[in-house]
Structure 1
Amino acid sequence: MSAAFACRLSRPGVVCSLGDDLETIGQALFDGERGLTSSDAFTPGHPLPLGRVTGELPDDSQWPKDHRSRNNRLLALALKRLESEIEPLLKHVARDRIGVVIGTSTSGIGETEQALAVSGREGALPETFAYARQELGAPARFVAERLGIAGPCYALSTACSSSARALASARRLLKSGQCDAVIAGGADSLCRLTVNGFISLEAVSDKPCLPFSRHRDGINLGEAAALFVITRETGGIQLAGVGESVDAHHISAPRPDGSGAADAMRQALAMAGRDPAEIDYLNLHGTGTRLNDSMEAAAVATLFATPPGCSSTKALTGHTLGAAGALEAAFCWLALDQGRLPRHVFDGEHDPEIASLPLATTSAAPARRLRHALSNSFAFGGNNASLLLSRTE
């Protein structure tokens, strides 16, 4: 079977703790190299493993102050890596027919934290402060203004499924005829709010995380930006199906039986016209928390009689929150392009109390050619999203 409508995902522009070019990122991804560094930048005196971007980012000192944020600097570098796709797009497609959809959960809140540290509770905020850069729509405005795009422009913020939903939204803009191309993806940067927020939930591990291990004790946090140019072109790697559900079980905990997560995967398969047995790789949400991994294993077991090779790449990059959906879609793109499975890195101690999964713990070549990959993003409030990517060549 084939999907009634599909759209082409360009070669992605990506910056994360594994690097900022696809060759370097792919090498680390397939070799299972963790991009985590120990830092107490957000938790003084309490170092944590973090997926920090350590490479040089574009200088924002001459940008309008509304745009000066680490989030936008990450996006600017991702856009630079997309130049070969964007330049011909801007020449051949009317700019009011190009949309921008960005997923984020932090936007420029890190810069607001710095401003408040300077001003204190009573002092005036510094002249460099701009409220607009912390608004959730700020990253989408930044991309549109930087490229001179005049089509639909907005951000989505559904916590950890934000940028997966941004890609799903881009697909709808194309299918509905509102756009001829969409630049879509996500960006989130590390800041005190998110790091300490997750600590308050007792969800952060002091050690490199161990998704699906019996010894797992929480997540590592990270930052990233990942962008695609999405068009109606045929061929290449297609966003063939999307699935979205909201189970609203709890403000931060997942529904234990995984039914909402399974529903999102089921929808993506149905939209793409694919059976579970056709999926060659499953990128797990796999945060490394007790509840999430248990729920996701149950959801996978519900849907797949024999699950495909799978992995959680958050052990390599940290959980990049609003950027995770687009980042891991980029990893699926790389898997389909290179014909290799991203490595699952943990201590090898499978949890006997959850459904068994065929984790890709070695760099051995897959038994069959990779044609279809499914990527999961499950967020607070039961905001679930699954994306199905298919290689057509």
Structure 2
Amino acid sequence: MDKQNTIFPVYINSWAMNSALGNTLNIAKQRLAEGFSEDMCPENAWLNDGKSTVVGKIKSPLPEIKGQFNTRNNQIALSALLTIEKDVRAAITEYGSDRVAIIMATSTSGISDGEQALAIKNTMGEFPDDYHYRQQELGNLGEFIAQYLQVTGRFTPFPRLALLVVGFLFPPNVY
């Protein structure tokens, strides 16, 4: 059998999200139907021409993360993961830590933390002690989730997408 040209189905075991639309599918559906989300906020200082615009800001409480992975981006992803962690851990137990792939998406890659650190550097002359450039790299989220779950399979960041964490399983005996 030619594994390189064979298509195998991939099953989505569980998925989660956290965005300005909400942190559950039901909340997101409700807010879409109503045409209103309390996490959509007017901002006056974002556009070059000074006009007001609306931006999404997650207002729900986020879990605390310590160390090099402490970014708002990772906190948002972890908040989504925590809602499906039981399913993900069950899949890891059943299939092994090298057989579970974590596929996640983000729209920021921790850039807001970099902006805050740069503002501190501009004021104080140096970056804060807890800041490192790699916190805003695209792979930071994947590294964090892989380390948090202690999985050794693949991790793939997808920038500019709405879903934050999706658990996938590779079919057995494929790779």
Counterpart in the other structure of 2:54: 49
Question: Highest Rg: 1 or 2?
Answer: 1
Greater RCO, 1 or 2 (C-alpha within 8 Å, sep 6+): 2
Match 2:41 to one of 32, 37, 42: 37
One-letter amino acid matched to 1:148: Q
Consecutive aligned runs of 4 or more in structure 1 exceeding 4 Å deviation:
41-46
Q: CA deviation at 1:108?
A: 1.6
Q: CA deviation at 1:41?
A: 6.4
Q: Summarize the Cα distance change of 1:46–1:21 in structure 2 as closer, same or farther, 3 Å threshold.
A: same
Residue 13 (str. 1) matches residue 16 (str. 2): yes
Partner of 1:68: 70
Is the CA contact (8 Å cut-off) linking 1:105 and 1:136 kept in structure 2? no
- Maintained 8 Å contact 1:78/1:225: no
SS of structure 2 residue aligned to 1:95: coil
Contact map agreement 2:102 2:165 (CA 8 A) in 1 = no
Structure 1 residues 226 and 84 mapped into 2: Cα distance closer, same or farther (>3 Å)?
A: same
For residues 19 and 9 of structure 1, what CA distance do their matches in structure 2 show?
Answer: 21
Asked if 1:230 is matched to 2:163, the reply is no
Which residue is equivalent to 2:28? 25
Distance in 1 of aligned mates of 2:155 and 2:15: 19
Q: Deviations over 1:158-192 (max 9, x none)?
A: xx4xx4xxxxxxxxxxxxxxxxxxxxxxxxxxxxx
Residue identity matched to 1:112 = G
SS state at 2:62 partner: coil
Deviations 1:292-337 (A, max 9, x none): xxxxxxxxxxxxxxxxxxxxxxxxxxxxxxxxxxxxxxxxxxxxxx
Aligned counterpart in structure 2 of residue 59 of structure 1, from 57, 64, 68: 64
Q: Deviation digits for residues 47-67 of structure 1, max 9, x if unmatched?
A: 32112211111123xx11x21
Q: What SS does the aligned partner of 2:98 have?
A: helix
CA offsets 1:66-108 (integer angstroms, 9 cap, x no match): 2111110110011011123212112212112222333445312
1:121 Cα deviation from its structure 2 partner: 7.9
The answer (yes or no) to whether the contact 2:19–2:58 under 8 Å persists in 1 is yes
State the match for 2:4 in structure 1: none
Task: Work out the CA distance in 2 between the residues paired with 1:77 and 1:20.
Answer: 8
Distance verdict in 2 for CA 1:39–1:94, change over 3 Å: same
Q: Does 1:109 align with 2:114?
A: no
Equivalent pairs, count? 162
Q: Is the 8 A contact 2:71 2:135 kept in 1?
A: yes
Q: TM-score, normalised by structure 1?
A: 0.37
1:145 matched to 2:147: yes
Residue in 2 that maps onto 1:155: 157
Q: Aligned partners of 1:127 and 1:43: how far apart in 2?
A: 31
Q: Is the 8 A contact 1:58 1:77 kept in 2?
A: yes
Alignment of 1:372-391 (within 5 A): none
Q: Does the 8 Å contact 1:144/1:153 carry over to 2?
A: yes
8 Å contact 1:75–1:225 — kept in the other structure? no
Taking the aligned partners of 1:232 and 1:99, their CA distance within structure 2 comes to 7
Amino acid at match of 1:6: P
Change in CA separation of 1:154 and 1:228 when aligned onto 2, cut-off 3 Å: closer
Once the two structures are superposed, the pairs formed by residues 116-195 of structure 1 within 5 Å of their partners are 116-120=118-122, 123-157=125-159, 160=160, 163=161
The DSSP-based 3-state class of the residue aligned with 1:228 is strand
SS of 2:131's partner is coil
